[in-house]
Amino acid sequence: MIFVKLAWRNVLRNKRRTLLSASAIGIGIATMIFTDAMMIGWKDLMIKNATSTFMGEAQIHHKTFREMFETEKTIPNHREICSKLNNEPKVKSWSSRTQSFAMISSAANSYSIAVTGLDPIKERPISKIDDNIKVGKFLQGNDKNSILIGHKLADILEVELGDKVVVTVANAESGDMSQEMFRIRGIFDFGIREMDRNMAFIPLCTSQELFGIGDKINEIVILFNNLNLKKELNLPFWSELKMKEEIAAESWLELQPELGAVLEMIDYSIFILGAILFLVVAADIINTLFMSLYERMYEFGILRAVGTRSLNLGKLILLESACLALISSVIGIAAGFVITYYFSQRGIDYSGTEFVSVSMDFVYPVLKWNQFVIYPIVTIFFTVITGLYPAFYATRMKVAKTLKAQF
């Protein structure tokens, strides 16, 4: 107990130095808390934007559809699946789509694109096409020959809202060319170059007729009620779907594996950043402890002379490092909370940027209780470990040498 008292009072002895050192370590902790919160916010935003823009949280296709995106690979018994989805309480909404590669032509130009047929009513809560229409309107239920194109494609085709374009596709049934004329009802801007230049949306019924697939569909897009379910692939209906030989039911992680890899990379980045920060912190601790140690050489000599064992002297140094870490943790937790809370309310503007084909907007750092427990505990642990070196040094000091000035 006397060593705890000694350690605590020694740390508070030079308040300015302790405050400076504790602040430096505290800033390290606050940085880790903020970075962690920021990365969670970043990941959440990426997942949210990746899934809510167009991809959805899960998709169902014909098993081989995604290999070549052949329109004739339609989902077998899709009505039965749709009926199951309607009765599944975990599914928030779903929508049917068709897809085909096509040539779109205007009076000025032609361009190769992917045309998606979608149900205007069911699609609205699933994707953000409606939200991203900059000019014009989203498709209506009774639309037949309306088309939505991206602003970059509009530039290529040199067309504007209300202009006519012709879409040419290969008929899935006969293999012949099919053409249909559409009027541009809306021009969208996702902020994702690929989508803004290479995609167009037409009504589902028109697409089925144009592609020659009858009432069949190529894709069912799903949103879940609980955000976490998008990662949960063990739902009963999910496994039931997967058992069907010709059906592929995939979550966003499987649909966009590169996004999963990026999220994993973010976790590694936090680890690397943490390691660098702790190295800096360790250097600061060693410096502080040694400065304090050299200043008190004579005092240590007195302690040893009156019977303090060398190991107890080492223990005292370790306790001092723990006290320093404790003060630093309080500063770090307070600073980390204030900074992270401020930005969690205000957000950090990343709008207009695109990352792994995902458009970004405001990133809101996410506060979690474990950030305020794990990082301070890790800091205290590493501080004490770092204190081992000066503690070892203290145990090896020659008592007579430390008292040289006196005897």
Partner 1 sequence: MNNVIEINELRKIYQTGTIEVNALKGVDLQIKKGEFTAIAGPSGSGKTTLLNLVSGLDTPTSGEVKLGENYLNRMTGRELSDFRRDHIGFIFQSYNLIPVLTVQENIEYIMLLQKIGKKERHERVDAILEEVGLGGMAKRFPVELSGGQQQRVAIARAIVSSPAIILADEPTANLDSKTGESLLDIMHSLNEKHGTTFLFSTHDQMIMDHAKRLIKLHDGEVQSDETR
Residues that bind partner 1 (CB under 8 A): 1-2, 5-6, 9-10, 13, 298-299, 302-312, 398-400, 403, 406-407
CB-wise, 275 or 405, nearer to partner 1?
405
H helices present in 132-203, as ranges? 151-157, 193-198
- What's the rounded Cα separation, in Å, for the pair 304 and 401? 12
Helices (H) and strands (E) in the chain, counts: 15, 14
Cβ 53 vs Cβ 358: under 8 Å:
yes
- What's the rounded Cα separation, in Å, for the pair 265 and 248? 27
Those residues whose C-beta lies under 8 Å from the C-beta of residue 83, and which sit 6 or more positions away, are none
Please, what is the minimum distance in Å from the beta carbon of residue 305 to partner 1? 5
CB-wise, 14 or 171, nearer to partner 1?
14
Please, what is the minimum distance in Å from the beta carbon of residue 289 to partner 1? 16
CB-wise, 11 or 157, nearer to partner 1?
11
CB-wise, 2 or 243, nearer to partner 1?
2
Please, what is the minimum distance in Å from the beta carbon of residue 1 to partner 1? 8
Please, what is the minimum distance in Å from the beta carbon of residue 393 to partner 1? 15
Please, what is the minimum distance in Å from the beta carbon of residue 9 to partner 1? 4
CB-wise, 230 or 304, nearer to partner 1?
304
CB-wise, 307 or 352, nearer to partner 1?
307
Cβ 209 vs Cβ 203: under 8 Å:
no
- What's the rounded Cα separation, in Å, for the pair 41 and 35? 10
CB-wise, 142 or 406, nearer to partner 1?
406
What is the Cα 366 distance to its own chain's centre?
11
Those residues whose C-beta lies under 8 Å from the C-beta of residue 287, and which sit 6 or more positions away, are 21
Structure tokens at 174: 């006969």
CB-wise, 14 or 110, nearer to partner 1?
14
Please, what is the minimum distance in Å from the beta carbon of residue 317 to partner 1? 14
Q: Output helix, strand, coil percentages for the chain, rounded to the nearest 5.
A: 55, 20, 25
Nearest alpha-carbon partner for 132 in 187, 176, 81, 71: 187
- What's the rounded Cα separation, in Å, for the pair 54 and 148? 14
Please, what is the minimum distance in Å from the beta carbon of residue 227 to partner 1? 54
Please, what is the minimum distance in Å from the beta carbon of residue 405 to partner 1? 9
Q: With H, G, I as helix, E, B as strand and everything else as coil, classify residue 337.
A: helix
